[in-house]
Chains A and B, each alone.
Chain A
């Protein structure tokens, strides 16, 4: 809950929402229905969502509305999504994308 804006002087209090558990790189995190992957991770103070495929430099959200594709993450076995546009769901498995392995043909 540490980064949630629970009380807001104009928008009022945060309404009650159902909790869900999501897994980011196999580690469990608490999130809420209505969160995107990006907002859920940001609320937990996780800023790095992937590493650049060549340089390995860390990347997090940049535009937060689906334009920049910087926040793309892997969900489940092979689906790649934009964290900022993808709502969380119970038990969701999310993985960071990382540096291309030399010799491997494809990223996913």
Chain B
């Protein structure tokens, strides 16, 4: 009913409807849902919505959540300046 109005990924504003439709159309995994819809791919690195996406996708595919982490984590796990990555301290958290 309100799937369109239910935002799942806050960073990218991806709705429950978009996720549902994607799983119906492609019968895909959380990982594929992420790549197709950008849900979980935003600024927070999926920290807020990853569990929700896993739950929805497992439910729609009638599967249980496995021991492997579907939505993989990749460094940098926090947005960071190139300068800080090189060991030079910059106060910026982003770009």
Contacts and interface: CB of A to CB of B under 8 A. Distances in A.
Answer whether A and B touch in the complex at a CB cut-off of 8 Å. Answer: yes
Interface of A: 52, 54-55, 57, 59, 62-63, 67-70, 72, 78-82, 106-108
Interface residues of B, number: 13
Given A79-B93, A82-B93, A108-B94, 13 more contacts: A54-B13, A62-B10, A68-B44, A68-B47, A70-B44, A72-B93, A78-B92, A79-B91, A80-B79, A80-B93, A80-B94, A107-B95, A108-B95
A106 B43 contact: no
| Pairs of residues from A and B, 5 with the lowest C-beta to C-beta distance, nearest first | A80-B94, A69-B44, A69-B43, A68-B48, A67-B47
A87 B79 CA distance: 19
A67 B92 contact: no
Given A72-B94, A108-B94, A63 B13 contact: no
Interface of B: 10-11, 13, 43-44, 47-48, 79, 91-95
Interface centre among A59, A80, A106, A107 (most CB of B within 10 A): A80
If over half of A's interface residues share one DSSP class (helix, strand or loop), that class is named, otherwise mixed; here it is loop
Nearest to A76: B91
Contacts of A80: 79, 92-95
A54 B9 CA distance: 14
Contacts of B13: 52, 54-55, 57
A78 B26 CA distance: 41
B9 to A, nearest CB: 11
A79 B10 contact: no
Contacts of B79: 69, 80
Contact of A69 (B11, B91, B92, B95): B11
Given A68-B10, A69-B43, A63 B95 contact: no
A107 B92 CA distance: 13
A55 B93 CA distance: 23
A55 B10 CA distance: 11
